[in-house]
Amino acid sequence: MSIKWMLKKDPSLASRLEGLKYVRRHEDETRDVTIENCIGFSQVPLGLAGPLKVEGPENTNDVFYAPLATYEPTLVASCSRGCKAFNLSGGIQFEVLEDAMCRAPVFHFADTGKAVAFARRVPELQAQFAKDAESTSRHARLLKLTPHIIGPRVHVRFDYSCADATGQNMTTIATQKACDEFMNSHLAKELQVQGFLVEGQMAADKKSSWGNVIQSPGRGVRVIAWGKITDEACREVLKCSTEELHHSLAIVKDAETRNGQFGSNINVVNVVTAMLIACGQDPACVAEALWSHVTAEYDRETKDLNWTIFIPSLPVGVVGAGTFYGTQKECLELLQCRGPGMKRRLAGLIAAFALALDVSTLSAVTSHGFTSAHERLRRGSRL
């Protein structure tokens, strides 16, 4: 249904839209918007966290600032405080372990025996599937096929390399082409394939999944970041000792286990969400990225606390999605992540700033400053 159709069916809608005072809707801003029935832009406050010293691949060795699109008071200040503590201790490093995007079509058969016969043939189909899939894009490269038999059906996970794009649309189009061509082949008839769906939910697109955590390659960028906090920096900036901070982490991990928490972190998803929105990513991908594992090792001799964050499924890109909108382009430029080859840097910086926030938040709880910070900065105090 278009806006014109809506206005025709409901004449009162025009006056309601005209009454919107705060929705940005200048024609020059919305002309190139790709969503349907666009009525303008919803404005999200944008803060800048940092600076943070970060070292990683792709010639990453600099001081960075993170644009955070958020409604939450204390988020920017807390993240910046964690950055300061890491900077005084040498900064944060990161590495990208894997980078892939997947689609998982499902093929139907008359019985389970025929499904098993097809699954056994999947490895020899990779070359043809790859040829057809890659014909749809200059960037998509089929890396791996993994069959999963469920009754008389076979879900086949197609894992792709997608260059600088996140790749959800790229892999969908590529997989559709590969499956269509296969279904028209003599082999499909020989194997008695009855039909297929381009996605059977084995890819866990925009959903939390243990498969995203443990399968290799994962879905999106798999990244690890680490850095140390010295006892001196911890006391000066975070207002507690590294030993106290380590003890607090042990306490919360016990509670995470008892509560069956999905992942082990303090509030990593705050930075992930804020940076995805600011940088033109699909915020629904937070569902995939919310699992992360934050750990810390305490050195009793030096009193250093060595932190690590592992995020196995971080779907990001520096082209496509909303990266071409003005604000989002500028945020990517602030992060020095615009241009070819910057996708992995973006993932690494998200992980680094997320680690800074986690350390700062846990230290606020440890030093009993968590509540007072929210009292000082809460919205109600300014109303």
Give me the domain span that covers residue 157.
105-197
Backbone φ, ψ for residue 148 (5° rounding): -130, 120
Examine the domain organization and report whether 87 and 139 are in the same domain.
no
Residue 34 clears pLDDT 90, i.e. is over it: no
Query: Which residue's entry shows tokens 């009292």?
Result: 375
Decide if 225 is inside a domain: yes
pLDDT in tens, 99-130: 999 999 999 999 999 999 999 999 999 999 99
Residue 267's nearest CA partner among 358, 341, 364 is 358
Q: Percentage of residues in the chain with pLDDT exceeding 90?
A: 78
pLDDT in tens, 326-335: 899 999 999 9
Distance CA 317, CA 337 (A): 10
Examine the domain organization and report whether 355 and 298 are in the same domain.
yes
pLDDT in tens, 61-106: 999 999 999 999 999 999 999 999 999 999 999 999 999 999 999 9
CATH of the domain at 50: 3.90.770.10
What number is the average pLDDT over the span 226-235?
98
Distance CA 21, CA 33 (A): 20
CATH of the domain at 137: 3.30.70.420
pLDDT of residue 43: 87
Examine the domain organization and report whether 249 and 349 are in the same domain.
yes
Distance CA 84, CA 360 (A): 10
48: pLDDT confidence band, cut at 50, 70 and 90?
Answer: very high
Examine the domain organization and report whether 355 and 239 are in the same domain.
yes
Examine the domain organization and report whether 168 and 235 are in the same domain.
no
pLDDT of residue 383: 39
Decide if 33 is inside a domain: no
Look at 20 and 141; give whichever has higher pLDDT.
141
158: pLDDT confidence band, cut at 50, 70 and 90?
Answer: very high
Decide if 325 is inside a domain: yes
Examine the domain organization and report whether 284 and 316 are in the same domain.
yes
Examine the domain organization and report whether 129 and 51 are in the same domain.
no
Decide if 27 is inside a domain: no
Question: Which residues are known to be catalytic?
Answer: 72, 282, 374
Examine the domain organization and report whether 118 and 176 are in the same domain.
yes
Residue 382 clears pLDDT 60, i.e. is over it: no
Decide if 3 is inside a domain: no
> How many folded domains does the chain comprise?
2
Distance CA 342, CA 50 (A): 19
Q: Which of residues 162, 197, 232 is at a domain's end?
A: 197
The answer to whether 288 and 209 have CB atoms below 8 angstroms apart is yes
Examine the domain organization and report whether 270 and 366 are in the same domain.
yes
Q: Which of residues 165, 197, 229 is at a domain's end?
A: 197
The answer to whether 307 and 225 have CB atoms below 8 angstroms apart is no
pLDDT of residue 350: 98
What number is the average pLDDT over the span 195-211?
93
What number is the average pLDDT over the span 342-368?
97
Examine the domain organization and report whether 313 and 288 are in the same domain.
yes
Query: Please, what is the Cα angle at 278 between 275 and 284, to 5 degrees?
Result: 70
What number is the average pLDDT over the span 199-209?
92
Decide if 36 is inside a domain: no
Residue 232 clears pLDDT 80, i.e. is over it: yes
Decide if 141 is inside a domain: yes
Q: Which of residues 141, 165, 197 is at a domain's end?
A: 197
pLDDT of residue 3: 66
Examine the domain organization and report whether 231 and 360 are in the same domain.
yes
pLDDT of residue 33: 83
pLDDT of residue 320: 86
Examine the domain organization and report whether 226 and 268 are in the same domain.
yes
The answer to whether 147 and 107 have CB atoms below 8 angstroms apart is no
Decide if 334 is inside a domain: yes
Supply the mean pLDDT for the chain. 92
Residue 113's nearest CA partner among 151, 140, 77, 162 is 151
Q: Percentage of residues in the chain with pLDDT exceeding 70?
A: 92
